[in-house]
């Protein structure tokens, strides 16, 4: 090794040691992490990034704004959000059928969505509005990922994350204005054991 190379090597080594002394190995991240609803076409890549500790921001997925809100939203606030929504719903309407005189309607059948698999078989389940089977049954299913930066060096952060399939199935009734909603979490992937005790909060703050 020439003398010039030795001098350059010594300078670089000193710089590395100096940075190691003054820059902490682990710093507190300025971000507290965030949640993402992952589009179907990006689930595989999002899973790879999460396992590598990289941010899903590389996929140009925006953090879910609802999850960033704190506290309980009032009914007026929820109605305002819904009024601003530009989402559309698809309805398959059959032409009217003239019934015979003396016709008696058959016994009412709700025809609810029975299982999570039935929900996911519909392509609409992962859309913005979800799958509306009929007036009394709907569902929505999406992959959710939540990341938290655990180690940052030189502005580059390593993230811990949890990912799961979130499915929401709702049931209505023609006898009551109340409805039942069931949530299912499965296909859970955790990159750090510390996240096994993570608590989830829904959009209503409960």
Confidence bin at 206 (pLDDT 50/70/90): very low
Max Cα distance, the chain (Å)? 107
Q: Is the pLDDT confidence value at 147 over 80?
A: yes
Instruction: Dump pLDDT digits (tens) for 156-182.
Output: 888 888 899 999 999 998 888 888 999
**pLDDT tens digit string along 83-139?**
887 777 776 777 888 888 888 888 878 889 999 999 999 999 988 888 999 888 999
Give the H/E segment covering residue 37: strand 34-38
Q: Is it the case that residue 81 has pLDDT exceeding 50?
A: yes
8 A C-beta contact, residue 125 and residue 90: no
Question: Phi and psi dihedrals of 10, rounded to 5?
Answer: -65, -40
Q: Rounded to an integer, what distance in angstroms lies between the CA atom of residue 42 and that of residue 53? A: 16
CA distance 126 to 88: 14
């Amino acid at each position: 090794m020439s003398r010039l190379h030795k001098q350059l090597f010594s300078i670089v080594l000193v710089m590395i040691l100096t940075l190691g002394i003054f820059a902490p190995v682990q710093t507190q991240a300025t971000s507290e992490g965030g949640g993402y609803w992952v589009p179907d076409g990006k689930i595989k890549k999002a899973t790879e990034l999460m396992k590598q500790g990289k941010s899903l921001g590389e996929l140009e997925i925006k953090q879910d704004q609802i999850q960033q809100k704190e506290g309980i939203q009032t009914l007026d606030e929820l109605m305002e959000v819904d009024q601003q929504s530009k989402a559309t719903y698809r309805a398959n309407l059959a032409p009217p059928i003239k019934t015979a005189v003396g016709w008696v309607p058959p016994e009412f059948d709700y025809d609810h969505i029975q299982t999570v698999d039935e929900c996911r078989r519909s392509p609409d389940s992962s859309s913005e509005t979800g799958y509306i089977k009929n007036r009394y049954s709907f569902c929505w299913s999406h992959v959710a990922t939540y990341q938290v930066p655990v180690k940052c060096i030189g502005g580059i952060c390593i993230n811990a994350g949890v990912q799961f399939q979130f499915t929401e199935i709702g049931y209505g009734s023609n006898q009551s204005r109340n409805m039942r909603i069931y949530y299912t979490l499965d296909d859970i992937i955790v990159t750090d054991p510390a996240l096994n005790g993570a608590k989830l909060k829904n959009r209503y703050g409960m």
